Each structure stands twice: as C-alpha cells, then as structure tokens.
Amino acid sequence: MRRHAKRAPQEPTIALINVVFLLLVFFIVAGTLARPLDADLRLVRTAGLDGAAPPDALVLHPDGRVTHAGAGIDPAAHVAALDETARAVLRVVPDREAPAADLVALGRTLRSAGAGRVVIVTERGLE
C-alpha cells in the first residue's frame, strides 16, 4: 500500500500579495485623475505679509487694555452701543503675551453685556 504524501497547507501570502498589488494599482490610477497645475503657474506667497486684525475686532493688550480701532474702550459700553446684528458675533484679537485670565474675563464681560458669540481671532502657525 502506497502512502499519500500529506499536502502542506497553503500559505495565505499569495492572496495577500494580490490584494496589495490591486491596492497599488488602484492608488496609482486614482492619483492620476487630478490634473496637475499648469507648469507656468506661480502661486501667491504670503510669508512676508503682516497680519492685521479685522476692522471690527476688539484688541486685548498684554497689560489688560481693550482697544477698538486704536482707541481704548470699555467692553461693556462698546457692546451696549452696538446694534443687534453687530452684537451677534464679536471678534477679539488677543496679544500673544496677554494673560489667559484676562481673555476669559473679557469674554465673560462681552457675553454678559449682550454679545451673541465671542470669536477669538488667532494666527495660524506653520510648524
């Protein structure tokens, strides 16, 4: 009687290689669907621009002063002088060195004076 040789179990590596190859082909095809930019196109550079606060923003200085358009103001009185649409969203530009406690206190003052939303305007960092 002749013995049958045991077959070794098939390795799943062939199936894995096929899946990886199909994914590779898919990403190559999908990556070429977007048209490249024109070769003579030169994009705008913004690295040298100075940041400026929005004209309607309140500025919080490191010493706790609050200014609007360069003049010192009382935040609660400023909100009271605004109409309803201007009160809906108030922008605050804090100085980098301004204490966080002063910023939180200013936000609370603006909200209690009738501001709908208080938005903090910051600079997007490039890392």
- Per residue in 102-124, pLDDT (tens digit) is 999 999 999 999 988 888 887 76
Torsion angle, CA of 20/21/23/27, rounded to 10 degrees? 130
Q: For residue 94, what are its two tokens?
A: 């804090």
Looking at the whole model, is its pTM more than 0.85?
Answer: no
Amino acid at 85: T
How far apart CA 56 and CA 90 sit, in angstroms, is 8
Q: Are 89 and 117 in contact (CB under 8 A)?
A: yes
How far apart CA 110 and CA 102 sit, in angstroms, is 12
Who's near 57: CB < 8 A, 6+ residues apart? 68, 91, 92, 93, 121
Each domain of the chain, given as residue ranges in start order, spans 58-120
Who's near 113: CB < 8 A, 6+ residues apart? 75, 76, 79, 80
pLDDT digits (tens, 9 = 90+) for 11-44: 778 888 999 999 999 888 777 665 666 676 666 5
Cα dihedral sign, 101-102-103-104: positive
User: Which pLDDT does position 112 carry in this prediction?
Assistant: 92
pLDDT digits (tens, 9 = 90+) for 56-79: 788 888 898 898 888 889 999 989
User: Which pLDDT does position 125 carry in this prediction?
Assistant: 59
